[in-house]
Chains A and B, each alone.
Chain A
Amino acid sequence: MSEERLPAVSTPVPSLALGPEERRAQEPLRVESSSVRLVGTLAVAGALAGLAIVLVFQWAEPRIEAWRAEVLAAAVTEVLAGADRYETVFLAPTGSSIADADTTDLDRVYVGYDRVGDRVGVAMVGVGAGFQDVIRVIFGYHPGSGEVIGMQVLESKETPGLGDKIEKDSTFVIQFDRVLAPLEGLKAGRETGAPTEVTMITGATISSRAIIDIINARLEEVRERVDELWMSGGGT
């Protein structure tokens, strides 16, 4: 390596060559605002925006809640075929009493009754990853027979025309009426006739499997407690 050095790049300082008058003319004409004013403006605007949002939220919230409850009620009666009304039951976490827990943390299930007051099954909501986004599923379970008795997708963003068949393809959905848990997903053409079998949709294998996995996982979590509730005649 030679000792050769690159000549230092001299930055031209034209403003020094100019008179004060010209130097001022070079600077952009701009009125600097004080930082207090900047922060103040944004703070006031933010506060007003917050107020507006709160007002709209107070108007909208009860309507949104009412709609959610309506959707849930329709879904519960759908997956518990023949249910006339239902009751929400909170399951105590295993090993603790119901009194210490906050209801928002508890697993909730919906016990359905038919017209004469007999229990027809227990509905519960399961959540899990689908092909695109989270899928929320509600399904009915009959602790007496250990069968899943109905399924409905509450929320999914699966591919239209392919993955969304998990909601729209009635031949797929109808399979969840009386199938022994835990479920087992099989590709079309490989069925063996076992009572735990669900045939997956061709072209939507991942979405179909997601539904089956969500149901199995949710059941595994609460099955013991739901069975216990059912044996003790709970909910009545």
Chain B
Amino acid sequence: MSPRRVVSPEEVFFRGVWRENPVLIQLLGLCPALAVTNTVANSLAMGLATFFVLVGSSTLVATFKRFIPREVRISAYILVIATFVTIADLVLNAVVPEIHRALGAFIALIVVNCMILGRQEAFASKQPVGRAILDAAGTGLGFIVALLMMGGLREVLGYGSFLGVPLFGPSFEPWIVMILPAGGFFALGFILLLFGWWAERKKEPVRPRRWPHGVTTEVFVGEGGAD
């Protein structure tokens, strides 16, 4: 048994936002990330709803973890998550009905977002309440960040606007494919590619090339044998 590394509260929060981003690194919650990110407003609403559900259920699960018997813990988590999702669904419908209409069934599908269930099982059910809230907030924020990246890219290319404000003027021909389902895959693919490339780059800093014994790498000016 190796001693557990102590994780600072800041790290609990920030690793979900960036280093262990649920969508970009862990590849969780891809269904909403692909389905409802065709505009920035939809992405934001979806992100906030998921954030609310995640923080709410993590708080409850961490608070009542001692009363939840092992055998029914998954059912109990699902019950807690489903309650928060129903509340989010009703509140969105009452407050921002237009966005609720645009998100359609995907609000209800937050229940089966494995990112949320994953945080309950892996973290909230084993940690003190404070840390569980931090972890949930970090992961939720990471989800919002990822969705906004997708939504921004797709709305700018697919509609030529950002948050409904036209950017390019009337001569812009929108790339309709970007707001279709295929565009979701394109956007996600490019963003993941970018992240992968960046992570690789950080991992291996470019080392100066060293040749064995005495071989110099000075540039030969007249290499082409000009004279």
Contact = CB atoms under 8 A, between A and B. Distances in A.
A46 B90 contact: no
Contacts of B180: 159-161
B53 to A, nearest CB: 13
Given A60-B90, A60-B91, A60-B94, A49 B82 contact: yes
A63 B104 contact: no
Interface in B29-77: 38, 67-72, 75-76
B93 A60 contact: yes
A37 interface: yes
B12 interface: no
A67 B101 CA distance: 12
A16 interface: no
B83 A53 contact: yes
Contacts, number: 64
A63 B104 CA distance: 18
Given A41-B69, A59-B94, A60-B90, 20 more contacts: A41-B68, A41-B72, A41-B76, A42-B75, A42-B76, A45-B79, A46-B79, A49-B80, A49-B82, A49-B83, A52-B83, A53-B87, A53-B90, A56-B90, A64-B97, A155-B101, A160-B176, A160-B180, A161-B158, A161-B179
A151 B72 CA distance: 52
Contacts of B83: 49, 52-53
Contact of B86 (A41, A53, A63): A53
Interface of B: 38, 67-72, 75-76, 79-80, 82-83, 86-87, 90-91, 93-95, 97, 101, 104, 158, 174, 176, 179-180
Contacts of B93: 60, 64
Contact of B79 (A37, A42, A155, A162): A42
A162 B83 CA distance: 36
A64 B79 contact: no
B106 to A, nearest CB: 11
Contacts of B97: 64, 67
